[in-house]
A and B are shown apart, each in its own frame.
Chain A
Amino acid sequence: MTGISSWRLLELEKNDAAMNMAIDEAILISRSRYESPNTLRLYRWDPSAVSIGFFQSLRDEVDLETCKAEGVDVVRRITGGGAVFHDSLGEVTYSLITSESESIIPQDILGSYQVVCEGIIRGLKSLGVSADFQSVNDVVVSGRKISGNAQTRRLGVMLQHGTILVDADLEKMFRLLKVSDKKIRDKMITSAEKRVTTLKNELGDRLSLDDVAKALTRGFQEALKITLKKGELSSSEIIHAETLKKEKYANPEWTKRR
């Protein structure tokens, strides 16, 4: 019989966009060298930020001038998927970094999205919100998206990160993401309101981001059959993250590469 495996928990913290992405990659690399344990990391974005997917065109997706004027960071992720507005006060982001050989994680990517998203679903359930997985990479409440997720596999390690919407400012989101025609933009806000929901919408009340983070921790423990023990980044992870921030995620060459 195998015992319940113990993973590291990095509790809710906030960083700028480049540092958030740099820390995720630093943990991935460190995990691939067996220097770090499997990890659940919970974080926020300060200042608010737009992240774009690995394959997206910066120019086509983001209104850079508006982002600059409103003090919103812009960063390119290591993962595919779409552009996301990370409101500093309105969402919690997680990243889960684990060896690909972990028995609970299916080898196939579609299957592993479902397994990891089950942690989110259970966390939301503990808050009184009934959510479902929607292929490929979403968690929905009555068909409306409350969580988007993105995954990469590198060096024998799986990294999945995603967001849980707590309170969304859709108007601001569409100001920052590129939709040139105002008429279309208004239409999109209305349509997004039908397609997207938040914990505030579902519960009628604003939860603290700490409570949401705790619920996610419970959910992942349950779904992945693990125990999460509070830990810290190692000094080598911090040094590596600072280098990655400077050379990659805060470097316009990376952000503008597509």
Chain B
Amino acid sequence: MDQKKVIGMSGRSEIKVPGGKLIRVDCAVVNGIVASIIITGDFFLHPEDGIQKLEKEIMMLRAEPEILQSHVMSFFQKGYKLVGAQPEDFAKAVVEAARQARRKQA
């Protein structure tokens, strides 16, 4: 879906983790489904191309906290390394952005 078309239903979350790194998530939810997601910030993820894979993994999931949380957490068991943030921080940021998006949609 064209991200511009779903912008009206998008939510944003920002988490500043201990030590100062920022995780920002922009997420659009359409009919309860994650229609677009982008994760930005000044963290370190190795290898770096993991970020697109994580976003792809979350796309089209039902925007329910438990579902999002478990997909984000299991992603980080695939060998991706975070420096300056924890998988839990990413899960929290994704869940919050989806919650914001759903609130706008309602």
Contact = CB atoms under 8 A, between A and B. Distances in A.
* A-B interaction: yes
B44 A151 contact: yes
Interface stretch (A11-19, A33-41, A49-57): A49-57
A136 B84 CA distance: 6
Contacts of A54: 48
Contact of A136 (B24, B38, B44): B44
A153 interface: yes
B46 interface: yes
Contacts of B24: 57, 60
Nearest to B38: A258
Contacts of B81: 109
Interface string A124-153: 000000000001110000000000001111
B49 to A, nearest CB: 9
Interface of B: 19, 21, 24, 38-48, 51, 81, 83-84
Does more than half of chain A's interface fall in helix, strand or loop, or is it mixed? loop
Interface of A: 53-57, 60, 78-83, 109-110, 135-137, 150-154, 258
Contact of A152 (B19, B42, B43, B48): B48
A153 B47 contact: yes
Contact of B40 (A56, A79, A154): A56
Contacts of A137: 44, 83-84
28 contacts: A53-B42, A55-B39, A55-B41, A55-B42, A55-B43, A55-B48, A56-B41, A56-B42, A57-B24, A60-B40, A79-B44, A79-B48, A80-B42, A80-B43, A80-B45, A80-B83, A81-B42, A82-B42, A109-B46, A109-B83, A110-B83, A135-B19, A136-B21, A136-B44, A152-B46, A152-B48, A154-B47, A258-B38
Given A137-B44, A150-B44, 13 more contacts: A54-B48, A55-B40, A56-B42, A78-B48, A79-B48, A80-B44, A80-B48, A83-B42, A109-B46, A109-B83, A136-B83, A151-B44, A152-B46
Contacts of B41: 53, 55-56
Contacts of B19: 135-136
Nearest to A59: B40
B44 A57 contact: no
